[in-house]
RNA sequence: GGCCCUGUAGCUCAACGGCAGAGCAGUUGACUCUUAAUCAAUUGGUUGUAGGUUCAAAUCCUACCAGGGUCACCA
């Protein structure tokens, strides 16, 4: 039940007063002809032909009132729509007493939506404005938005006074955050541009965009704990997907050469500045290439997206300049760890000796981890955060990579890479395993390695094996966290700032 | 889940054991080219919740709630 505070109660009273004056605070019809930016552009376009021509530019603009400057018988307002702001000049002589009194009696609040019909002009101070002849309330605001005043400096930069910065409130009430903080709106505009740029690139590369089930009877394709749910009528337990991998690769069996999907994954794990329980994943699978071909696509894709969205391949993330243009550094996992941790894990080819070596090196590590996880631990503690420029880390331990083909030079590694930018893992890819007998063996090994019910249990997917038995072309597969890419391209420090509604606990 | 930090007016913040304050906005008034408008006056609080210590608690203690950071876990 809504308990209006004092400021809100004042606005509720104004609705009563408006209605008493015969004014509908939430009318149905709107007559907008120009966005704020279009109105200003129309004036600028007409100006070279002379002031008289420019001042005959008739517009009807609509937007949210962001500033009211009531000074007696003349008033100024700034209204804002998605395109930007435009100033209204309102005079009692032009509007008539009855309409002007709405402003004078303060029945129009900051945050209300209004419509203004008039002609364009330039004020003495030089601001292009609408000289308003008809002024209409479009929608009343009952709760005041946080006050953020802006001053435009001579050099065009905007200085803000007052702010809405409490992160909890910003996330819980994202609508207020967006309404008040222009730069937040810009992040999500850019996010949409990133997705468009990716799809454009994939189209040009000949990929087919597909959609596969979110509700899966058997989850798989990644090491993560799933969310579970239940279909009542079918009496069937289901999992929210943790990856698209197994469903997409079945499509290569079906005869598509190159497919991709962009969609939501769900992982029932910790929340952090780079983890949200639901996040946007992209995966692609392409027949007749191996992981070197996938690396090639990765470099070209990110460079292309950066060019489309930012106009160039050089970006600045949290103060660090990063060059996304090909070719990126390629480093084997073994070489990377040798460089940064000064351990050659191949000197310790079993879990027991590697664990001892890690301890001797001064690191603490959970006891009893499989060999591949120990290698991963070394990588995460010593290497990951140092990979600022785009880097492919290639050739991963076999025992933590159940869907990748073995390398040709030993039995411990597979053709897998992850790519890192700004110290963050951005994605993961393999030369995909397509031998059904080997794949079945890997499922069995994983089951031995990770107990049933463990966070990263990899259940055996019989139908996936059945598909593979029909023959799967050799292929390269790839996955990338879209949210992290958006963080990178919009210079945001946390995943919460690139998600419109990041996950929060229930409000009490 | 462990540890650390934070929670005070609509927003941003002070007060750190002794009367809970400021700026912004809000309210009232003045102003027909203002733009962080200005000038004058003025309202506004269950200090996250529940207990406890104390003559006295926003302040100290305990538990809980929420957010952030970090470690664990993961992508």
Q: Is-contact A421 A387, C-beta < 8 A?
A: yes
What are the two backbone dihedrals, phi and then psi, of residue A319, each rounded to the nearest 5 degrees?
Answer: 85, -5
**Closest nt to A125 (CA→C1')?**
B33
Q: Is-contact A150 A460, C-beta < 8 A?
A: no
Query: How many Å apart are A32 CA and B31 C1'?
Result: 32
Query: How many Å apart are A482 CA and B21 C1'?
Result: 47
* Over residues A470-489, mean pLDDT: 96
Residue at minimal CA–C1' distance from B68? Answer: A167
* Whole-number pLDDT of residue A450: 65
**Closest nt to A100 (CA→C1')?**
B32
pLDDT-based confidence at A455, cuts 50/70/90?
low
d(CA A383, CA A98): 71
d(CA A432, CA A403): 6
Residue at minimal CA–C1' distance from B25? Answer: A147
d(CA A303, CA A287): 23
Q: How far does chain A reach from its first CA to its final CA, in angstroms?
A: 13
Residue identified by tokens 């994939």 is: A202
Query: How many Å apart are A152 CA and B34 C1'?
Result: 14
Query: How many Å apart are A408 CA and B48 C1'?
Result: 61
The answer to whether ipTM exceeds 0.90 is yes
Does residue A452 have a pLDDT over 60?
Answer: no
pLDDT-based confidence at A339, cuts 50/70/90?
very high
A113: Cα separation from own chain's centroid: 29
Query: How many Å apart are A6 CA and B10 C1'?
Result: 9
List of domains in chain A: 6-144 (2.40.50.140), 185-341+383-497 (3.30.930.10)
Q: Is-contact A496 A201, C-beta < 8 A?
A: no
d(CA A310, CA A304): 10
Residue A490, classed as helix, strand or coil, is: helix
Does residue A248 have a pLDDT over 60?
Answer: yes
Does residue A448 have a pLDDT over 90?
Answer: no
* Over residues A157-162, mean pLDDT: 85
pLDDT-based confidence at A424, cuts 50/70/90?
very high
For chain A, what percent of residues have pLDDT higher than 70? Answer: 98
Q: Which two tokens stand for residue A102?
A: 């709405």
Burial of A157 (0-12, 13-18, 19+ CB in 10 A): exposed
CA-derived radius of gyration, chain A: 29
What are the two backbone dihedrals, phi and then psi, of residue A52, each rounded to the nearest 5 degrees?
Answer: -65, -45
**Closest nt to A167 (CA→C1')?**
B67
**Residues A109-147: pLDDT tens digits?**
999 999 999 999 999 999 999 999 999 999 999 999 999
* Whole-number pLDDT of residue A457: 64
**Residues A192-213: pLDDT tens digits?**
999 999 999 999 999 999 999 9
Residue at minimal CA–C1' distance from B73? Answer: A270
Query: How many Å apart are A507 CA and B47 C1'?
Result: 20
For chain A, what percent of residues have pLDDT higher than 90? Answer: 81
Residue A423, classed as helix, strand or coil, is: coil
pLDDT-based confidence at A454, cuts 50/70/90?
low
Where does A47-156 have alpha helices with state H? 51-55, 92-95, 97-104
- Calculated CA dihedral for residues A271, A274, A278, A281, nearest 10 degrees: -150
**Closest nt to A242 (CA→C1')?**
B75
Does residue A367 have a pLDDT over 90?
Answer: no
Does residue A276 have a pLDDT over 80?
Answer: yes
d(CA A4, CA A11): 10
pLDDT-based confidence at A507, cuts 50/70/90?
confident
- Calculated CA dihedral for residues A286, A450, A447, A405, nearest 10 degrees: 30
Handedness of CA A265, A266, A267, A272 (dihedral sign): positive
Q: Is-contact A443 A223, C-beta < 8 A?
A: no
**Closest nt to A365 (CA→C1')?**
B72
* Over residues A364-385, mean pLDDT: 89
pLDDT-based confidence at A456, cuts 50/70/90?
low
* Whole-number pLDDT of residue A451: 58
Residue at minimal CA–C1' distance from B26? Answer: A7
* Whole-number pLDDT of residue A363: 82
Residue A137 Cα distances to A82, A100, A334, angstroms: 18, 12, 67
* Over residues A320-329, mean pLDDT: 96
d(CA A64, CA A75): 16
**Residues A17-37: pLDDT tens digits?**
999 999 999 999 999 999 999
**Closest nt to A169 (CA→C1')?**
B67
**Residues A90-99: pLDDT tens digits?**
999 999 999 9
**Residues A26-73: pLDDT tens digits?**
999 999 999 999 999 999 999 998 888 889 999 999 999 999 999 999
Reference A145, options A182, A90, A188; nearest CA is A182
**Closest nt to A87 (CA→C1')?**
B35
Query: How many Å apart are A276 CA and B44 C1'?
Result: 39
Query: How many Å apart are A268 CA and B51 C1'?
Result: 35
* Over residues A400-408, mean pLDDT: 94
Query: How many Å apart are A147 CA and B25 C1'?
Result: 7
User: What crossing angle do the helices spanning A482-490 and A291-310 adopt, rounded to 10°?
Assistant: 40
Q: Which two tokens stand for residue A330?
A: 């390629």
State the DSSP code for A274: T
Query: How many Å apart are A106 CA and B40 C1'?
Result: 19
Does residue A84 have a pLDDT over 80?
Answer: yes
Task: Kindly report the bases of strand B lying within 7 A of a protein C-beta atom.
Answer: 1, 9-13, 23-28, 30-38, 43-44, 65-75
d(CA A218, CA A250): 14
Residue at minimal CA–C1' distance from B70? Answer: A272
Residues 6+ apart with CB under 8 A from A293: A286, A476
Where does A84-130 have alpha helices with state H? 92-95, 97-104
Polymer length of chain A: 508
Angle ∠(A150,A153,A156) on CA atoms, nearest 5: 100
Residue at minimal CA–C1' distance from B32? Answer: A74
Average pLDDT, chain A: 93
What are the two backbone dihedrals, phi and then psi, of residue A507, each rounded to the nearest 5 degrees?
Answer: -80, 135
Q: Which two tokens stand for residue A451?
A: 């107990």
State the DSSP code for A362: T
Query: How many Å apart are A11 CA and B18 C1'?
Result: 40
């Amino acid at each position: 039940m809504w308990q209006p505070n004092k400021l809100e109660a004042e606005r509720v009273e104004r609705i009563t007063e408006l209605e008493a004056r015969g004014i509908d605070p939430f009318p149905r019809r709107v007559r907008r002809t120009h966005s704020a930016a279009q109105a200003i552009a129309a004036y600028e376009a007409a100006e070279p032909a002379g002031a008289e021509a420019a001042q005959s530019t008739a517009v009807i603009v609509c937007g949210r009132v962001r500033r009211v400057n009531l000074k007696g018988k003349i008033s100024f307002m700034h209204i804002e729509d998605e395109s930007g702001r435009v100033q209204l000049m309102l005079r009692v002589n032009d509007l008539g007493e009855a309409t002007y009194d709405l402003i004078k009696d303060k029945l129009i609040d900051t945050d209300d939506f209004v419509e203004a019909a008039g002609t364009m002009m330039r004020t003495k101070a030089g601001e292009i404005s609408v000289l308003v002849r008809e002024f209409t309330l479009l929608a009343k605001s009952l709760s005041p938005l946080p006050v953020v005043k802006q001053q435009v400096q001579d050099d065009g930069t905007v200085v803000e006074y007052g702010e809405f910065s409490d992160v909890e409130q910003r996330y819980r009430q994202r609508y207020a955050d967006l309404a008040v903080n222009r730069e937040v709106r810009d992040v999500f505009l850019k996010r949409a541009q990133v997705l468009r740029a990716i799809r454009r690139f994939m189209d040009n590369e000949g990929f087919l965009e597909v959609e596969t089930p979110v509700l899966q009877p058997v989850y798989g394709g990644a090491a993560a704990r799933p969310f579970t749910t239940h279909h009542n009528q079918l009496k069937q337990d289901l999992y929210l997907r943790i990856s698209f991998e197994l469903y997409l690769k079945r499509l290569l069996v079906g005869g598509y050469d190159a497919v991709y999907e962009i969609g939501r994954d769900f992982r029932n794990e910790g929340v952090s500045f780079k983890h949200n329980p639901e996040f946007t994943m992209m995966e692609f699978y392409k027949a007749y290439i191996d992981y070197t071909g996938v690396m090639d696509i990765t470099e070209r894709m990110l460079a292309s997206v950066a060019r489309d969205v930012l106009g160039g391949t050089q970006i600045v993330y949290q103060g660090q300049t990063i060059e996304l243009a090909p070719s990126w550094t390629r480093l084997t996992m073994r070489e990377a760890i040798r460089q940064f941790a000064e351990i050659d894990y191949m000197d310790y080819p079993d879990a027991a000796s590697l664990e001892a070596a890690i301890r001797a090196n001064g690191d603490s590590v959970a006891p009893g981890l499989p060999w591949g996880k120990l290698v991963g631990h070394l990588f995460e503690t010593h290497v990951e955060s140092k990979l600022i420029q785009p880097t492919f880390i290639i050739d991963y331990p076999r025992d933590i990579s159940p869907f990748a083909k073995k390398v040709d030079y030993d039995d411990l590694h597979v053709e897998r890479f992850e790519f890192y930018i700004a110290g963050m893992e951005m994605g993961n890819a393999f030369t995909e395993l397509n031998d059904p007998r080997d794949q079945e063996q890997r499922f069995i090994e994983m089951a031995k390695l990770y107990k049933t019910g463990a966070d990263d249990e990899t259940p055996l997917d019989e139908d996936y094996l059945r598909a593979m038995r029909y023959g799967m072309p050799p292929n390269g597969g790839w996955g990338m966290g879209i949210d992290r890419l958006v963080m990178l391209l919009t210079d945001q420090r946390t995943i919460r700032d690139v998600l419109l509604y990041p996950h929060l606990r229930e409000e009490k």
